[in-house]
Amino acid sequence: MIEQIAPADFARWLANAATAQPLKRAVLLDVREPHELQWASVDKDAARLGCTVVAMPMATVPMRLSELDPDQPIACLCHHGVRSMQVARFLVGKGFGEVVNITGGIDAWAEQVDPSMARY
């Protein structure tokens, strides 16, 4: 079962991940398409919270899997949480340890974390 976290709880999840694996910086894996990234980005929030954002469209994840560390905490994000859930399941199936899905995606992020963010 993939853990679901609300965007408002992301900072707490990051803190827990940092405590559990202090040498592994958490990754926010944004699986949206490039044109979606132009509308809204979590880069500034991620930098403030101390995680790395990796933009990897869902369709490219299987061929780019080697770019991700299976021992690194990963939170998956898309527009509404459906594609990111599929990617989270895929990663767990490939042996990735700590993987969560951000429920509601970037749309919920804009509502709960950064109301100034453009919504689409």
Q: Catalytic residues, which ones? A: 78
The contacts of residue 85 (CB under 8 Å, 6+ apart) are 2, 76, 101
Please report how many Cα atoms fall inside a 13 Å half-sphere around the Cα of residue 6, on the Cβ side: 5
Bin 105: left if φ > 0, else alpha if -120 < ψ < 50, else beta: left
Q: Among 107, 97, 92, 96, which Cα is nearest to 32's?
A: 107
Phi, psi of 4 (to 5 degrees): -105, 130
